[in-house]
Chains A and B, each alone.
Chain A
């Protein structure tokens, strides 16, 4: 089955610790995205990547880092510099077109709680 996997589903960390969230896709999509969702709010873009070894900051990149060493993988590190890291993190992927936007498909998400 083609799809996007995220692990773990739930993650608990102490304040001051860095944590890495995994995202893998086997859809052969070029573009991958990380979003954050807080209760009652829409999705906010953290980072995105349209090609291997390249990525761009989204609207709320401070305190986060990413890498894109393989087409299939786009891990997100939440660093201790992120002031309010507790949230629902969503990874998505899409095809890329020069003429427009293809649909984004989401993984199941990782719910991070930092205390």
Chain B
């Protein structure tokens, strides 16, 4: 069964530090990878997408993809209390549907 695995957390990070969120996937055929942020009681919000090996940066966020290791990560620099949320990782399957991880809860401590 195709899976996306994430540590459920919570991951506690001091304000201003780098938060590192990790995700592994089982389907070697996955082509596209996404990170969503979900605040409590709200719907997921797309923050990063990555399709090629390497790093992709957008503001304070960096997504990293390593297809050989089937590993994707999200780094958040200069973490702010407003970054406290659950972060969902998703990858595509061969039918271009998303396979979702259960999410990592991130807590930024002031």
Contacts and interface: CB of A to CB of B under 8 A. Distances in A.
Interface stretch (A14-22, A63-71, A99-107): A99-107
A48 B45 contact: no
B42 A101 contact: no
A107 B42 CA distance: 9
Interface string A45-68: 100100000000010000000000
Contact of A90 (B43, B49, B92, B102): B43
B92 A106 contact: no
A90 B44 contact: yes
A102 B42 CA distance: 22
A48 B97 contact: yes
A66 B101 CA distance: 25
Central interface residue in B4, B42, B43, B51, by most chain A CB within 10 Å: B43
A40 B38 CA distance: 12
A101 B96 contact: yes
A104 B31 contact: no
Contacts of B88: 42-43
A12 B53 CA distance: 46
Contacts of B46: 103-105
B43 A101 contact: no
B100 interface: yes
A108 B42 CA distance: 6
Nearest to B102: A42
A45 B44 contact: no
B44 A103 contact: no
A11 to B, nearest CB: 15
13 contacts: A41-B102, A42-B88, A42-B102, A43-B88, A45-B97, A48-B97, A101-B98, A103-B34, A104-B34, A104-B46, A107-B43, A108-B42, A109-B43
